[in-house]
Amino acid sequence: MAEQPSNPLSRPLADGIVPQEAVARTEKRWLMIMAALLAAMMAVIVVTGIVGALHPSSNVEVLDPTTLHLRGEFVESNLGTAIEPDGSVTVRIIAEQYDFVPHCVRVPAATPVKFRLTSADVVHGFLLPNTNVNSMVVPGFVAEVRTRFAAPGEYAMPCHEFCGLGHHAMWAHVSVVPKEQFANLTPTARTGCVPQ
């Protein structure tokens, strides 16, 4: 019968017990795989952010959500698409449970467009699929997003922040029309998308 070493650490391992070095090696390997996955995901976020020009609203502008309809930039007569002296357009929209006001706006293609939104009640979302437009609309603040539509088209504008029981039904439209056609639209046709 073989003599067992007196130090228990130098005794041979029982069947089925994995040596400590092998465990450490495997753990290190998994750590490296996870670090690589994390790095890849961070890279995807950074690269898509830069390539798609995605960015959070760059300005902090505050206003009083309880007096939106009484005074200031977001009174009803000021909502919708306005033409600026430099030829660009500014779109002002109020988000409220459970619609956007106005419900549809027309903007020109190939023109700088500045969206300015605010909320009259809770947090809503402002998203135009397949564009760089994606922002939260927080009561008390103005969400400003600048974009440019290369070609005419129709965009659905769903609210993408859960805002209550009617959230799923809260959406609006942005209708991008050719630049020449836009110049001939009446203010009513620009804001509300009613036929000319």
Catalog residues that contact ligand CUA under the rule CB under 6 A: 124, 159, 161-163, 167, 170
Q: What is the SS3 assignment for 111?
A: coil
CB of 104 to ligand CUA, least distance (A): 16
CB of 94 to ligand CUA, least distance (A): 11
Burial class (CB in 10 A: 0-12, 13-18, 19+), 127: middle
Query: What span, in angstroms and rounded, lies between the C-alpha atoms of 162 and 196?
Result: 35
Query: What span, in angstroms and rounded, lies between the C-alpha atoms of 82 and 75?
Result: 13
* Residue placing its CB nearer to ligand CUA in the complex, 87 or 166: 166
* Residue placing its CB nearer to ligand CUA in the complex, 83 or 121: 121
CB of 169 to ligand CUA, least distance (A): 9
Query: What span, in angstroms and rounded, lies between the C-alpha atoms of 125 and 7?
Result: 67
Are 110 and 179 spatial neighbours (Cβ–Cβ below 8 Å)? yes
* Residue placing its CB nearer to ligand CUA in the complex, 87 or 164: 164
Query: What span, in angstroms and rounded, lies between the C-alpha atoms of 69 and 130?
Result: 32
CB of 89 to ligand CUA, least distance (A): 24
* Residue placing its CB nearer to ligand CUA in the complex, 37 or 162: 162
